Structure 1
Amino acid sequence: MNSPMLPRGMSRRGLLKSGIAMTTASLILPAGMAMAQSEPKKGGVFRVGIGHGSSTDSYDPGLWDNLYAQTYAAARHNQLIEIGADGNLAPEIAESWTSADGMTWVFKIREGVTFHSGKTLTPDDVVASLNHHRGDASTSAAKPYFDAVTDIKVDGPNVVITINAPNADFPYLMSDYHLAIMPGTDGKIDVTSADGCGGYMVDSYEAGIQATLNRNPNYWKSDRAHFDQIVLLTILDPAARLNALMTGEVDTIDQVDPATIGLLESRGVAKILSISGNAHYVFPMDSRAAPFNDNNVRLALKYSFDRQELVDKILAGHGSVSNDNPIGPASRYYYAEMEAKTYDPDKAKFHLKEAGMDTLEVTISAANAAFSGAVDAAVLMSEKAAAAGIKITVDREPDDGYWDNVWMKKPFVASYWGGRPVEDQMFTTAYQTGASWNETFWSNEKFDGLLVAARSELDEAKRREMYQEMQRIVSFEGSTIIPMYNNYVMALSNAIATPEKVSNNWNLDGFRCVERWWFA
């Protein structure tokens, strides 16, 4: 990965040495809420400092895998359906969608939408865009969504998608950020092209450094895309990001280190948004590799650290304890009553003995590129695990190249998930056997069967039972340590205005700060 872009007129050394030169007032908000703001107006250059980005970032929508790529994509593209700030589905390129049986879904495609190149968007473009994520040759992270799809075709102004079993949540899958609608030629999209139908058009881009985009004058959403220009900067170091905001070099930053919030109280030049949702920090273990291929070893590790300590010290209270459950409290079928794992060295020792071990030595590979405080979290886990006879060596990896060289390459790492709006989407993306982003390579036949069955279960009580059983399986048999749900913590210049509700389904207003926010 290339070096992060530094604020104008400041060297890397100056930026890192200057630290937090100013302070700000903080405001902690309930899920999805923001401050009441003035009416939107057009104009200005919006600069965002983002703690992700890689020199290997691609225009291929199936490969978008970090917050920078997702925000850059949200500026350029639309999906069939949008997740609104209230968490509900909203029409985007699909004006409407219907299904009589949960298996045949008819999406009416919006007329009058043009791509940045001037080409008129047609249903054929939608089919080409969706088919990019289908088939054995597809490398898309969204490919599992289409495993059940038997046909996608054009029917007049509509696109008709047929799946092999009823699924009431199928429209939610069509909102996934990978499923950008792009121009099609002979049934295929160009994965090297920046052409989209979103609110901004690319002026310049250097992967892993910065992107500059100008407002699309022909954008069909007249009430969105308020900035004249947006500049997206990769600033991997948390202190450098914060200082860039404090010195006025950027207008918004993501992933504010919660430990610094206490310092941000008197100057009043910026505001903090801390919004709870289903996001969670994780430590995946490669289930194919010894000793993590033994579930007793995995359970020993899960009982060997203090989850509340991580919430208190890493999140500074901006989050909550997770029971190794990727389904968060904001979800419909969240299993709040599941038996909680607490710090229990004796239980950890019991599971080690069940694995035929008296002691255990493992290495966690971590970097703050995974999440702010990831290295410190791994150290805290290591300190507590010693009482159970577990020695955890923390290998601090470089932030640059972490997602290319460490994640899904080394057997025990730090990672993060933004959560998903529905259980099926989260489980299909990260836990189904063979999924591209199944970062532990875990496989469980019972889990896979329940995942398929729950999609078409119409009895609400039975469906809830199925999804809660899947949560239990992942928690007690899965290969991912999930210690905490993290709030999305962002810092905004006082010059930036937001809608009354800010999305809690992803950071930066569901990636759409570039489209939904404006200068006050």
Structure 2
Amino acid sequence: MSERDRRTLNPHAIDRRDFLRAGAVLAAGAAGAAALGAAGCGGRGAGASGAVAISSDALGPRGGTARLLLGGGGPRLVLDPATQVNEPDAIVDGLLYDGLVRLHDDWRVEPRLATRWESDAAQRVWRFELRDGVTFHDGRPLTAKDVVYSLRRLLDERLGSAVYPRLNGELRPDGVRAAGSGAVELRLTQPDAFLPVALGARHCKIVPAGTTDFSRAIGTGPFRLRSLDQSKLSFELERNPGFWQEGLPRLDRIEGMLANDQASLVQSVASGRFHFGGFIDPSLASSAEASGDARLLAHRSALFNDLVAAADSEPFTNPDVRTALKLAIDREQILSLAYKGHGSIAHDVPVRTADPFFAEGLAHRTRDVDEARRLLRRAGYPNGIDLELLTAPAGAAMVDMAVVAKESLAEAGIRVSVQQRPAGTYYDAVWLKEAFYVDTWVLRHPLDAMAVMFESSAPWNEARLRSPRLDELLREARSTGERSEQAQLLGAAQTLVADQAGFVCPAWLDELYVAKPELAGVGFNATDLVDFQRASLG
């Protein structure tokens, strides 16, 4: 985890990894109904009228205290959901707060504090109906005033919320209005059929109107804060007896600590000190699997590392050099050796092959070392090319991925010198500044991922792609509520990125955790990363 992830965000340098961490997906076992239809993936329509009732037969026993050891944290736990930074912030804030909606892995949108939503035909005016009978931890009832306040905070550039770049281009504070006490209306400056998906970001949690002090973490979530010791990086949560979803949560209490020592994450769970730990590097997965006292949990293909070859820097100004990198990389080797098989093959776009919006034609492209050599000769490198690749232990398997990539690229005459930089300064000194380096991202909805990574105006366009055609495709995708049109436009956008961007993404990586066998019901979802609301101790 880089120092960039740990420092206080400012409005002109919003943390990229933080923003994308909001988009990690896979909602295995997530509770409640999922509203798909037109509103779920963009378009005119309504969400479900409420969460599906949960059968008590499907839940584990009630009671008990689960102990968590969470890795990847910063120097403190951030309890303001709008400015949360690291993985532990997302997990803990997801237990304390709730949003209007929550995302699933196939981009279904689950009703939470909103039970229904719809847009006008132009995708510019959205109305969200609020759930009745919801109260905050201190007993105050949820009203539209709270939602208006929470969403307007996200649009304050001075706050520096990681979702500010996503919402600011289309939504102004005066466009967020109460429609009585039980509904809110959002008037956009331009069409966005994917607005419900955007509001599924983990930063879009609802807090009481006027809140400026988050030390008590007053939300509407399944747990409430019992204690927090920032000096020891420890916390205690207790079940919220007034939680709106009947029968949940199952646990009485959750006690947790933050830790960045990878070895301790596995050992502390296996020894019985903790029930849950992670996430862990794939190099430790075998030790977790070999332990009879812990089991491995996988958030499947939830993140990826990429090689950035910035198109505004030599030698990557030549598209033949960029294409040669894509053709020469051995994707299977990256998955097998760097990721230890914990992931899936990728195709130089930030969209999984299992995603409903994936451009299927990309999966048929194969490695071609001879063609990579031919392109290098045409680019003026008949004897191959020498490159310096920068990396750091700032994300899972970033260093291993660079080392393995070096071997396969050498077969095409691309001679790589891997240079490791300190993790603490990597995202200040290397990211968006150097020409050839490794980065790490977490999965988001295809439209959001491509917009933040490749759109000409994107603040984090690391590949330096400037394509008016891509900008047009993404703009058109936002403007239509027809799923088939969205898929066609996003597919064309992916093909353009795979063909032109200095972005080599060979494989997805599972986000891995370890847990005691008696801890059941842990789920993963796009909004909160790890969900303990249904968790129980057997």
Give the TM-score of the pair, scaled to structure 1. 0.81
For the Cα contact (< 8 Å) 1:129–1:184, is it kept in 2? yes
Deviations 1:231-254 (A, max 9, x none): 343333433211121111221223
- 1:142 shift after superposition: 1.4
Q: How many residues align?
A: 483
What's 1:148 paired with?
170
The 1-side partners of 2:215 and 2:378 are apart by 51
The one of 196, 200, 204 equivalent to 2:223 is: 200
- 1:285 shift after superposition: 4.4
Q: Please state whether the residue corresponding to 1:454 is helix, strand or coil.
A: helix
What's 1:45 paired with?
65
Does 1:365 pair with 2:379?
Answer: no
The one of 410, 414, 418 equivalent to 2:442 is: 418
The 2-side partners of 1:122 and 1:259 are apart by 48
Instruction: Decide whether aligned partners of structure 1 residues 84 and 342 sit closer, same or farther in structure 2, where only a CA change above 3 A counts.
Output: closer
- 1:219 shift after superposition: 2.8
- 1:123 shift after superposition: 1.2
The 1-side partners of 2:76 and 2:313 are apart by 27
- 1:153 shift after superposition: 0.6
Q: Please state whether the residue corresponding to 2:361 is helix, strand or coil.
A: coil
What's 1:325 paired with?
349
Unaligned 5+ segments in structure 2 are 4-25, 31-55
What's 1:27 paired with?
none
Q: Which amino acid aligns with 1:172?
A: V
For the Cα contact (< 8 Å) 2:99–2:205, is it kept in 1? yes
Does 1:106 pair with 2:127?
Answer: yes
Does 1:178 pair with 2:203?
Answer: yes
Instruction: Decide whether aligned partners of structure 1 residues 343 and 192 sit closer, same or farther in structure 2, where only a CA change above 3 A counts.
Output: farther
Instruction: Decide whether aligned partners of structure 1 residues 320 and 277 sit closer, same or farther in structure 2, where only a CA change above 3 A counts.
Output: closer
- 1:270 shift after superposition: 2.4
For the Cα contact (< 8 Å) 1:278–1:329, is it kept in 2? no
The 2-side partners of 1:287 and 1:297 are apart by 10
Q: Please state whether the residue corresponding to 2:499 is helix, strand or coil.
A: helix
What's 1:233 paired with?
257
The 2-side partners of 1:311 and 1:448 are apart by 31
The one of 511, 529, 532 equivalent to 1:514 is: 532
Structure 2 matches for 1:340-351, cutoff 5 A? 340=364, 342-351=366-375
What's 1:168 paired with?
193
Deviations 1:126-165 (A, max 9, x none): 1121122226556332124322235111110210012245
What's 1:16 paired with?
none
Q: Which amino acid aligns with 1:149?
A: L
Q: Which amino acid aligns with 1:423?
A: P
- 1:77 shift after superposition: 1.3
Q: Please state whether the residue corresponding to 2:533 is helix, strand or coil.
A: helix
Aligned-residue sequence identity (percent) comes to 26
- 1:78 shift after superposition: 0.9
What's 2:509 paired with?
486
Deviations 1:365-390 (A, max 9, x none): 221x411x221111111122233333
Deviations 1:439-473 (A, max 9, x none): 54544221111111012235544432211111112
Q: Comparing 310-319 with 289-298, which one deviates more in the overlay?
A: 289-298
For the Cα contact (< 8 Å) 2:106–2:355, is it kept in 1? no
The one of 413, 418, 423 equivalent to 1:389 is: 413
Deviations 1:286-314 (A, max 9, x none): 55554445544433332332110011123
Q: Which amino acid aligns with 1:362?
A: E
Does 1:55 pair with 2:57?
Answer: no
Structure 2 matches for 1:399-410, cutoff 5 A? 399=423, 407-408=431-432
Q: Comparing 144-153 with 342-351, which one deviates more in the overlay?
A: 342-351
For the Cα contact (< 8 Å) 2:83–2:159, is it kept in 1? no
What's 1:77 paired with?
97
What's 1:13 paired with?
none
Q: Please state whether the residue corresponding to 1:388 is helix, strand or coil.
A: coil
The 1-side partners of 2:318 and 2:242 are apart by 56
Unaligned 5+ segments in structure 1 are 4-29
Instruction: Decide whether aligned partners of structure 1 residues 32 and 121 sit closer, same or farther in structure 2, where only a CA change above 3 A counts.
Output: closer
The 2-side partners of 1:354 and 1:48 are apart by 55
What's 2:112 paired with?
92
The one of 28, 42, 66 equivalent to 1:32 is: 28
What's 1:12 paired with?
none
The 1-side partners of 2:279 and 2:518 are apart by 19
Q: Which amino acid aligns with 1:109?
A: L
Give the TM-score of the pair, scaled to structure 2. 0.78
For the Cα contact (< 8 Å) 2:2–2:427, is it kept in 1? no
- 1:333 shift after superposition: 1.8
For the Cα contact (< 8 Å) 1:304–1:381, is it kept in 2? no
Q: Please state whether the residue corresponding to 1:248 is helix, strand or coil.
A: coil
The one of 299, 304, 307 equivalent to 1:280 is: 304
For the Cα contact (< 8 Å) 2:270–2:291, is it kept in 1? no
For the Cα contact (< 8 Å) 1:285–1:413, is it kept in 2? yes
- 1:517 shift after superposition: 1.3
- 1:53 shift after superposition: 1.1
For the Cα contact (< 8 Å) 2:65–2:255, is it kept in 1? yes
The 2-side partners of 1:94 and 1:472 are apart by 35
Q: Please state whether the residue corresponding to 2:506 is helix, strand or coil.
A: strand
The 2-side partners of 1:505 and 1:332 are apart by 15
CA RMSD of aligned residues (A): 3.5
Q: Which amino acid aligns with 1:370?
A: G
The one of 263, 266, 270 equivalent to 1:246 is: 270
Instruction: Decide whether aligned partners of structure 1 residues 64 and 266 sit closer, same or farther in structure 2, where only a CA change above 3 A counts.
Output: closer
For the Cα contact (< 8 Å) 1:56–1:208, is it kept in 2? no
Q: Which amino acid aligns with 2:195?
A: F
Q: Please state whether the residue corresponding to 1:414 is helix, strand or coil.
A: strand
The 2-side partners of 1:350 and 1:207 are apart by 58
The one of 475, 479, 504 equivalent to 1:452 is: 475
Q: Please state whether the residue corresponding to 1:487 is helix, strand or coil.
A: strand
Instruction: Decide whether aligned partners of structure 1 residues 264 and 461 sit closer, same or farther in structure 2, where only a CA change above 3 A counts.
Output: closer
- 1:425 shift after superposition: 2.8
What's 1:129 paired with?
150
The 2-side partners of 1:217 and 1:348 are apart by 62
The 1-side partners of 2:142 and 2:297 are apart by 36
Q: Comparing 261-270 with 305-314, which one deviates more in the overlay?
A: 261-270
The 2-side partners of 1:62 and 1:442 are apart by 29
